[in-house]
């Protein structure tokens, strides 16, 4: 057995004060995201997407955030994947950004909705050709007998579309998570972390400090 009960560190990079928060959580998120990018963090846009299936079983996976604005947080996937099947029966989703190097976390709760076909096409067309082909080749989340077979499927798609533009698959596109709450967590000494939660109300966003 690995002894891990004493694996810990203190968080000393600084606190988070109410008066330093932006009035809108999207502004606050973009500020932190830019700081994560400027700090040279690997995969600063990587986020955990948590969904729940029809049996109530939660599931998580890491995807990349591809757009954020006042409307919400956007990622792209196969619409026949496990996450898409979960969203079809329960569109309530949670996102999590673990910016360990900055001793920060952001948690977002909200509702998933498909982005428009135009948005999906625009993003798909901007992807590298190999990524476009991979979207066609991979039946995401379904069993595949070997990597060799996966590469055969990839090469078959490469040959199929070698003469022209690769079209958007009808089973592929984006989801926008429309947030109902966004929590910002900054590590603090003695485990007295700073946590602020924005909650959407009819009149705008309400901000509350949460106990660590």
Query: 131-163, pLDDT tens digit by residue?
Result: 999 999 998 888 888 999 999 999 999 999 998
pLDDT at 1: 85
pLDDT at 83 > cutoff 90: yes
CA 103 to chain centre: 18
Q: CA nearest 154: which of 142, 169, 139, 167? A: 139
* 9 assigned ligand-binding residue: yes
pLDDT at 8 > cutoff 90: no
pLDDT at 14 > cutoff 90: no
Q: Strand, helix or coil at 53?
A: coil
Going 170 to 116 to 119 to 60, the CA torsion angle's sign is: negative
* 210 assigned ligand-binding residue: no
176 part of the active site: no
* 190 assigned ligand-binding residue: no
Q: Strand, helix or coil at 149?
A: helix
pLDDT at 42 > cutoff 90: yes
pLDDT per residue as tens digits for the range 166-200: 999 999 999 999 999 999 999 999 999 999 999 99
pLDDT at 79: 97
Q: How many CA atoms lie within 13 A of 154 on its CB side?
A: 15
Active-site residue, from 70, 104, 142, 191? 191
* 127 assigned ligand-binding residue: yes
């Amino acid at each position: 057995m690995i002894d891990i009960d004493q694996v810990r560190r203190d968080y000393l990079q600084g606190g988070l004060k109410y008066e330093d928060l932006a009035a809108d959580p999207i502004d606050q998120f973009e500020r932190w995201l830019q700081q994560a990018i400027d700090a040279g963090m690997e995969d600063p846009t990587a986020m955990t997407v948590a969904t729940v299936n029809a049996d109530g079983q939660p599931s998580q996976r890491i995807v990349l955030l591809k757009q954020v604005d006042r409307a919400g947080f956007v990622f792209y996937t196969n619409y026949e994947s496990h996450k898409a099947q979960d969203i079809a029966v329960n569109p309530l989703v949670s996102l999590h950004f673990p910016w360990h190097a900055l001793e920060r976390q952001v948690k977002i709760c909200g509702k998933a909705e498909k982005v428009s076909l135009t948005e999906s096409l625009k993003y798909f067309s901007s992807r590298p050709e190999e990524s476009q082909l991979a979207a066609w080749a991979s039946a995401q989340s379904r069993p595949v007998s070997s990597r060799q077979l996966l590469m055969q499927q990839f090469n078959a798609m490469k040959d199929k579309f070698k003469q022209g533009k690769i079209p958007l698959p009808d089973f592929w596109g984006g989801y926008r998570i429309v947030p109902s709450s966004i929590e910002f967590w900054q590590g603090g000494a003695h485990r007295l972390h700073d946590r602020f939660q924005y909650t959407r109300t009819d009149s705008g966003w309400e901000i509350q400090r949460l106990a660590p």
